[in-house]
């Protein structure tokens, strides 16, 4: 998900109100960590051990919308102390649950703002959120006794060491999203809810693509920015949508998550369908779908593209174009549009 990564201010020390791992964090004397027994649950997450004791978090903070919507879908609003970093309205059906949780910031909050919520667990969807230039590093939270969790879809099979939005070393699948759902359900001790949510997501994908053949269709995904557009590479969430439907991605030749390309390159690729991010945030140019379409239909380089002339647009939320439970919305909406355009056999 392309977005600015502002620097953060230093935070004051916090201790005593944090509940799960204690202010000392992990043992530093080489002793063995606690066993994964009835009192302690251990989750391996992006190369770290996340230890949860007792009944689990009571004041969780989710720093990205994707993580937030998983927690809300698991019925955990009463155990959340705050949310942040929103690109879209909350997923349909979760409005009442979402209204029960304080929104700390529309974009990335400061470290101090998060600490003011007295969190006992922090979840994020993107490595950049819990990295340098983000809210704070995982180490910084954990030194204060706050366990952290990062979405596996942004660390497994992905290299985030560069300056962009990362490079996929292997294609993302819905299995990573399902794993996140099950991990978070286990953190909070609601495993049955996690299993039910995964079954629902799997069933919806199967239903959306039933009988659909889109093997001759080329898709292009535009997330944001009119000046230097972010287009989807081969292997992130848009890749999941494309592969599930058997279609082709116009930028399948790049493993970058969201490469920035020129409009001349976009026009040269000339896809059959443009999948457009319809965002409500205001951190880039042309965030809304309406602004994007206005640009495409007026710009001399893009207005003669086949998809533009035929108005073959599919409007997706930003979350449907990220590796989240709403990627399933992307599968459903793109499949429905291909049938509506007469492009799916």
What are the DSSP calls for 26-82, one per residue? S-SSSPPPPPSSSSEEEEEETTEEEEEETT--SSEEE-SHHHHHHHHHTT-GGGEEE
The mean pLDDT of 122-143, rounded to a whole number, is: 96
What are the DSSP calls for 187-199, one per residue? HTT-HHHHHHHHH
pLDDT band at 131 (very low <50, low <70, confident <90, very high): very high
Report field, pTM of the whole predicted structure over 0.95: no
What percent of the chain lies above the pLDDT cut of 90?
82
Give dist(CA 125, CA 68) in Å, integer: 9
First to last CA, the chain: 32
The mean pLDDT of 217-234, rounded to a whole number, is: 95
pLDDT in tens, 82-101: 999 998 999 999 999 999 99
| 19 has pLDDT over 80 | no
Each domain of the chain, given as residue ranges in start order, spans: 40-203, 212-341
Contacts of 318 (CB under 8 A, 6+ apart): 1, 87, 88, 223, 224, 277, 278, 279, 281
Q: Where are the beta strands (DSSP E) in 169-311?
A: 218-224, 230-231, 248-249, 273-277
| 164 has pLDDT over 90 | no
| 21 has pLDDT over 70 | no
pLDDT band at 105 (very low <50, low <70, confident <90, very high): very high
What pLDDT shows up at residue 262? 96
Give the distance between the most distant pair of CA atoms in the chain: 66
| 336 has pLDDT over 70 | yes
The mean pLDDT of 280-292, rounded to a whole number, is: 81
Residue 345: which of 209, 221, 249, 242 has the closest Cα?
209
What pLDDT shows up at residue 199? 98
What pLDDT shows up at residue 238? 98
pLDDT in tens, 133-163: 999 999 999 999 999 999 999 999 999 998 8
**Between residues 156 and 12, the one the model is more confident about:** 156
Q: Is 153 helix (H, G, I), strand (E, B) or coil?
A: helix
Q: Is 245 helix (H, G, I), strand (E, B) or coil?
A: helix
Environment class of 182 (CB within 10 Å of its CB; exposed 0-12, middle 13-18, buried 19+): middle
* Residue found under tokens 């920035």: 260
Q: Domain 40-203 is classified in which CATH homologous superfamily?
A: Nitrogenase molybdenum iron protein domain (3.40.50.1980)
pLDDT band at 8 (very low <50, low <70, confident <90, very high): very low
Give dist(CA 210, CA 14) in Å, integer: 52
**Dihedral of alpha carbons 265, 271, 273, 275, sign:** negative
pLDDT in tens, 28-71: 333 334 444 557 899 999 999 999 988 899 999 999 999 999 99
Contact 319, 3 (CB under 8 A): no
Contact 63, 114 (CB under 8 A): yes
Give dist(CA 168, CA 154) in Å, integer: 9
What percent of the chain lies above the pLDDT cut of 70?
88
What pLDDT shows up at residue 2? 60
**Between residues 293 and 22, the one the model is more confident about:** 293
CATH for the 212-341 domain, from 3.40.50.1980, 3.30.420.40, 1.10.490.10, 3.40.50.300: 3.40.50.1980
Strands 158-159 and 167-168: antiparallel
């Amino acid at each position: 998900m392309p977005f600015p990564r502002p620097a953060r201010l230093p935070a004051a020390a916090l201790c005593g109100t944090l509940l799960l791992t204690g202010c000392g964090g992990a043992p530093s004397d080489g002793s063995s960590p606690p066993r994964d027994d009835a009192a302690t649950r251990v989750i391996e997450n992006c190369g770290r051990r996340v230890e949860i004791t007792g009944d689990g978090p009571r004041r969780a903070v989710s720093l990205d919308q994707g993580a937030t919507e998983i927690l809300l879908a698991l019925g955990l609003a009463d155990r959340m102390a705050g949310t942040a970093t929103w690109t879209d309205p909350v997923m349909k059906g979760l409005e009442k649950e979402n209204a029960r949780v304080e929104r700390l910031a529309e974009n990335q909050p400061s470290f101090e703002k998060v600490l003011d919520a007295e969190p006992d667990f922090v979840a994020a969807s993107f490595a950049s959120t819990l990295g340098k230039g983000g809210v704070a590093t995982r180490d910084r939270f954990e030194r204060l006794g706050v366990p952290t969790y990062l979405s596996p879809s942004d660390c497994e099979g992905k290299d985030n060491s560069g300056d962009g939005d990362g490079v996929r070393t292997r294609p993302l699948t819905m299995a990573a999203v399902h794993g996140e759902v099950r991990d978070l359900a286990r953190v909070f001790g609601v495993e049955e809810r996690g299993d039910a949510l995964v079954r629902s997501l799997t069933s919806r994908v199967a239903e959306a693509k039933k009988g659909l053949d889109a093997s001759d269709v080329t898709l292009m995904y535009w997330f944001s920015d009119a000046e230097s557009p972010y287009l989807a590479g081969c292997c992130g969430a848009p890749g999941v949508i494309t592969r599930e439907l058997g279609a082709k991605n116009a930028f399948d030749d790049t493993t970058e998550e969201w490469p920035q390309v020129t409009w001349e390159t976009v026009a040269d690729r000339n896809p059959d369908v443009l999948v457009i991010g319809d965002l409500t945030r205001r951190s880039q140019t042309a965030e809304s779908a309406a602004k994007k379409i206005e640009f495409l239909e007026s710009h001399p380089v893009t207005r003669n593209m086949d998809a533009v002339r035929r108005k073959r647009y599919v409007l997706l939320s930003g979350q449907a174009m990220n590796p989240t439970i709403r990627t399933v919305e992307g599968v459903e909406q793109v499949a429905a549009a291909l049938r509506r355009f007469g492009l799916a056999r």
